[in-house]
Structures are given as C-alpha cells and as structure tokens.
Chain A
Amino acid sequence: GAVVSQHPSRVICKSGTSVKIECRSLDFQATTMFWYRQFPKQSLMLMATSNEGSKATYEQGVEKDKFLINHASLTLSTLTVTSAHPEDSSFYICSARSGATIANEKLFFGSGTQLSVL
C-alpha cells in the first residue's frame, strides 16, 4: 500500500522555538494533505487542509500564523509550529490523499509526531 512518511516522530523543544514537521508521500502524488492534532486519549482534530501550490485552509479556531503549512510539492507538506509554547504540546499527524475524492483506503496517514514543549 501507499506510504506516508512523517518526520520527526518525536521532538522536545524549549518554549519560544519553532518546530518543523515534514510529511512526505513516498510512492504517490498527494494532491491534498491534512494535518491533525490529537490530545491524549482524544480523537483527531483536523487543523488544516493543504493543496499543492496553494494556501492552506485552516479550521475554525486554528491560528494560521502559529501553525504554518507549506505544500510546496506533490509529495511534501510541512507544518511549522512557530514560537511553540507548552500548550502546543500534542500529537500531530498528517494524512495524504491521492485521488480527487475521498474513498475507502485512499487516505493514508503518517506515523505522527509527538511534540513536547518545555
């Protein structure tokens, strides 16, 4: 099956620093990538949707200046948490879609990034 690679898997940083998380589709072209946030023992919350070559669409309540998303190519999307604070500590997971419409297995997930801000 298709593979989505997410890096790093875990990052610990000091408050005030910025952290970049990469999401790569390894064997398919991802027209759309999604970024989710997951708090402990909770569900996945969609943060933003990014389409290659255009600005990301953010969900209500998500600060676009804090969570910068870049989808520069059909295989790479990055999420940068700027000036991270302890409340940004969370599990971030990306997913990528190869087709024009969402259907069964055509939404592939990365392995997630656990961000801990000290």
Chain B
Amino acid sequence: AQKITQTQPGMFVQEKEAVTLDCTYDTSDQSYGLFWYKQPSSGEMIFLIYQGSYDEQNATEGRYSLNFQKARKSANLVISASQLGDSAMYFCAMSVTGANNLFFGTGTRLTVIP
C-alpha cells in the first residue's frame, strides 16, 4: 500500500525567507513519482514540481526545489524567498506504476508573514 505523510499541519515563514515543507512516503514499488501541489483558497490544485524515483538530481522549478532523499523516503519541498502569495495549502502526492491516480498527503498550510 502507498502512503504519504505530511507531519506539519501548519507552518509560518517570514516574507523573503526560505521554508521547508516535510513529506515522507512509503511504497514497495521501485518506480514512482513524487509531486507537490499548491492549493490556494480558491480551491484549484496548482502543480509545482515533480521528482521521479530514478532521477538522480533533485528537481528544481524556479523558487521551488525538492529535497529528495530516497533512502529516508522523504521528498521535502523547499520554497526560497517566500512571497505573500505563497500562503496556501501544500500537498505532497505520489504516483506508482500501475495506478492511475495520485495518493495525497494531508497537506500543510503555509502562512507567509509580512
């Protein structure tokens, strides 16, 4: 069975500072993908970043980077230079071979303080 764990229900960060959102996962599959999505108060799910299990380099997308530690089964999201618009819910998710859908964590609510 697949499981995604996000242990931080809420996080605060000062504007312009960096913040790390934690995500650990559990799967017996060797091939899987890890995603981060942002969900603002409007409800839409915005794709941020993706890391494949065989990717050797950590994924980066602008101010977002994914700290992938395969042995620890963690895929933490790092947001650099936080902006007020980053305040939202952030979900970690996983895909595995043979499954159509994504498995989501419970989310972390990030609040950026001016």
Contact = CB atoms under 8 A, between A and B. Distances in A.
Contacts of A67: none
Interface residues of B, number: 22
A102 B44 CA distance: 19
Interface string B2-46: 000000000000000000000000000000010101000011111
B76 interface: no
B44 A104 contact: no
6 contacts: A93-B43, A102-B99, A104-B33, A107-B47, A112-B43, A112-B44
Give the bracket for the number of chain A residues in contact with chain B: 20 to 34
Q: Which of B35, B45, B95, B104 has the most chain A CB atoms closer than 10 A to its own CB?
A: B45
Interface of B: 33, 35, 37, 42-47, 50, 52, 91, 95, 99-102, 104-107, 109
Nearest to B99: A102
A15 interface: no
Contacts of A103: 33, 50, 95
A105 B50 contact: yes
A4 to B, nearest CB: 9
Contact of B100 (A41, A43, A102, A110): A102
